[in-house]
Amino acid sequence: MRILAAMSGGVDSAVAAARAVEAGHDVVGVHLALSRAGGTLRTGSRGCCTIEDALDARRAADMLGIPFYVWDFSERFRDDVIQDFISEYQAGRTPNPCMRCNEKIKFAALLERAIELGFDAVCTGHYATLIDGDGGLELHRASDNAKDQSYVLGVLTAEQLAHTYFPLGTTPSKAIVRAEAEARGLSVAQKPDSHDICFIPDGDTRGWLAEKVGTATGEIVDRSGDVVGSHEGAHAFTVGQRRGLKLGVPAADGKPRFVLEVRPISNTVVVGPKEALAIAEIAGARFSWAGAAPTASSFDCHVQIRAHAEPVAAHAEVSDVGVRVVPEVPLDGVAPGQTAVLYVGTRVLGQFTIDTTVSAVPVGA
């Protein structure tokens, strides 16, 4: 096949490209410039898409003897990922920018251009596997559960899966990938993995949002509506947050309180006891299937609400208005805006963006 290898400058994408070459494919490497003012250097494991990353990707491509290009996707990234992130927080939701980047950039904008240029597939260093099933190509978890990235790939459609290539999915461990990179002479063999949000490399999400959308004083209230504190912008809070609340009124039982809800219209943050974070039901209208859609409108599955969360057994119902999921045991600290990925065994069935949640602990209980 003609393969376009997306090379981030990290060890995973470099080894994925190397394996594609070794498998006999016609491979071209490409690095995505996602910022017009990218930093020169990374700070340890923070950030990505720096000039250093682009140079690391180029060096890897040179070692592999493949053509290499840098494509400017900064405008698409700004519009589809960064602006979406800001808008979601302003709406009182907790977005996942990695999901949006996979959906809108790596497997939409990049894949579209790759197909236009005659490539058969885009190769990435994601840890996930593709299996030919009875209903067509299926997305499954990686062999190494600790590195599995199928959750952040749950937004891919059947058409996109047909043009993707994940060479690392069956690798038993990340240590094997690093050892392979070392043996191939790739300089990124021991390069740290990137963490946190790539466009907020210092990790200060609250400060970054305040700079982008400004501050506005509002109230922090308990579940009964009593004012217990104030804040300088509801957008800076996420469901499940405990630190940084600076509450002026202690809880009656003396226990710590957590953010239960963010109300952007009134610029209000609702706090309460940890047990009130338990969620008995989630639902969302924006959903997609990773391969063949389920044949039944009601089915048992497992639901995962974060990239490294444990999947929870659940029952799902699909209708014209969206997807509703009832877990067998309450989910912890779910926020609107998060992505719920549905699994049947190791297979990714599909995903939806959580719009509404139902607490397992009614007010006053």
Among residues 193, 197, 130, 120, the alpha carbon closest in space to that of 163 is found at 120
Among residues 333, 331, 349, the alpha carbon closest in space to that of 341 is found at 349
Burial class, 8, CB count within 10 angstroms (exposed 0-12 / middle 13-18 / buried 19+): buried
In angstroms, rounded to a whole number, what is the distance separating the alpha carbons of residues 107 and 57?
19
Determine which one of 48, 49, 123, 198 is catalytic: 198
Among residues 251, 240, 241, 246, the alpha carbon closest in space to that of 217 is found at 246
- Tell me whether residue 301 is one of the annotated catalytic residues: no
Among residues 356, 324, 322, the alpha carbon closest in space to that of 337 is found at 356
Among residues 33, 34, 29, the alpha carbon closest in space to that of 13 is found at 29
Residue with tokens 């003396």: 254
Determine which one of 98, 101, 123, 301 is catalytic: 101
Q: Report the 3 state secondary structure along 69-93.
A: EEEECHHHHHHHHHHHHHHHHHCCC
In angstroms, rounded to a whole number, what is the distance separating the alpha carbons of residues 248 and 243?
14
Report, as residue numbers or ranges, the catalytic residues: 101, 198
